[in-house]
Amino acid sequence: MQTKKIKWTRILLEAAFLVVLFSLVQYSISTHMLSQYYQINLTSMCINIILAVSLSLINGFTGQLSLGHAGFMAVGAYTAVIMTTKLDYPFLAALVGALFAAGLAGFVIGVPTLRLKGDYLAIATLALGEIIRVVLQNIDYVNGPAGISGIPKLTTWAWLFGGVVLTLLVVVNLVNSSYGRAIISVREDEIAAELMGINTTKYKVLAFVIGAGFAGLAGALYGHYFYIIKPETFNFLKSFDILVMVVLGGLGSTTGAVIAAIFITILTAALQPFPEIRMIIYALILIVVMIYRPQGLMGNKEFSRQTLGRIWGGRQ
């Protein structure tokens, strides 16, 4: 009984925290306290968080080096945009559609490729991500390389916030479940995991499908905010950007992925006034972080109430 009661307080506190955070930002947006510029960067930040957390499930927790995340983002973006602009579905349906379409793409790509290991998997996912992009480039229905422009701006702070919370809820709870233990065991030692009776392919595909699905959700949110989607936006460089966030945050840390996504978005925006040396500074900062924190900002640790408790009350 005791533990159950504590858990309820925790959940309530967390919910209250989320509600306060949401309302504060919503209030600043509706009263124009946050200018358009800050709103755009807030949007990028939320989308990057979803992308980084979903890729961290595949790369960080399952240990499968996937370089095709932008491809799944593209599947989600195109699915959602087609659903809203051409087929007149409501936005929620489009978001769900994007989630499932990208998840399906993840399944179709995951089943054959996840039997590969390490470098081979990286190359296969990189190639498949590029295939998605090239296929989109050659479909006239979506205007080929010019992409679809004039997309209505349906992504609001509420959808973004909901997307981030949903992604975190699913990923964190998955990782902490028995499925999560199996997934992590695949990363730690695939042969040992298999000997323990874990169907490694099944868990790899599971993580891959969920990760891909949320990348699709991020793509859908992206498309409905930035007015234009074109295949070129979802090239392998985009996949690398996401990978940089995951590695910077620490492989195997959801908190790390979130912090790195926020950090990189702010860094990119903060360097805008220095156009000439922007990319040099960006690269230097990444190199310095990697030299002094090769395990990433958070390593494989999570920031949690326990961590806070330890900080507050000394060693427990």
Partner 1 sequence: MFGTKKRRIAILIMMVFMFGIIAGCGREAPTNQQPAPTAGAINVGLNVELSGGVASYGTNARDGAMLAIEQVNAAGGVLGQQLNPIVRDCKSLPDEAMSVSAALVDENIVAQIGPLTSGNVAGSTPIMMENKIPLIAPAATATNVTVDDKTGATRDYIFRVCFIDPFQGTLMAQFAADNLKVKTAVIYGDTSSDYAKGLADYFKQTFTEKGGKILGTEGFVKDDRDFRATLTKIKGLGPEFIYVPGYYQEVAPLIAQAREQGITVPIGGPDGWDSPDMVTVAKAEALNNTYFTNHYSSQDTDPKVVAFVEAFKTKYNKEPDGFAALGYDSVQIMVQGLNDAQAADPVKLAGALAQIKNFEGITGNMTIDTNHNPVKAGVIIEFKDGKQTMNSRIQP
Residues that bind partner 1 (CB under 8 A): 6, 9, 13, 17, 20-21, 24-25, 28, 32-41, 44, 134, 137-138, 143-147, 149-150, 153, 222, 226-228, 230-233, 268-269, 272-273, 275-276, 278-279, 305, 308-309, 311-313, 316
Residue 42 or 98 with smaller CB distance to partner 1: 42
Nearer Cβ to partner 1 (185/233)? 233
Q: At closest approach, how far in Å is the CB of 254 from partner 1? A: 17
Residues found in the chain: 316
Q: Is 295 exposed, middle or buried (0-12, 13-18, 19+ CB in 10 A)?
A: middle
- State whether residue 139 is helix, strand or coil: coil
Q: Which H/E stretch holds residue 149?
A: strand 148-149
| Closest distance to partner 1 from the beta carbon of 13 (Å) | 6
DSSP string of 178-198, one letter each residue: HHHHHHHHHHH-HHHHHHTT-
Cβ distance 88 to 202 under 8 Å? no
Nearer to partner 1, 203 or 225 (CB): 225
d(CA 291, CA 308): 27
Q: How far is the CB of 128 from partner 1 (least distance, A)?
A: 16
CB closer to partner 1, 138 vs 199? 138
- What letter represents residue 267's amino acid? L
Rounded least distance, CB 157 to partner 1, Å: 12
Q: Please list the residues that pair with 229 across neighbouring strands.
A: 148
- Who contacts 310 (Cβ-Cβ below 8 Å, separation ≥6)? 316
**CB of 135: closest distance to partner 1 in angstroms?**
11
Q: Closest CB to partner 1 among 143 and 156?
A: 143
Supply the minimum distance, in Å, between the C-beta of residue 153 and partner 1.
7
149 - beta bridge partners?
228
Q: Which is nearer to partner 1, 131 or 192 (CB)?
A: 131
Q: How many CB atoms lie within 10 A of CB 218?
A: 33
Q: What phi-psi label fits residue 139: left (phi over 0), alpha (psi between -120 and 50 degrees) or beta?
A: beta
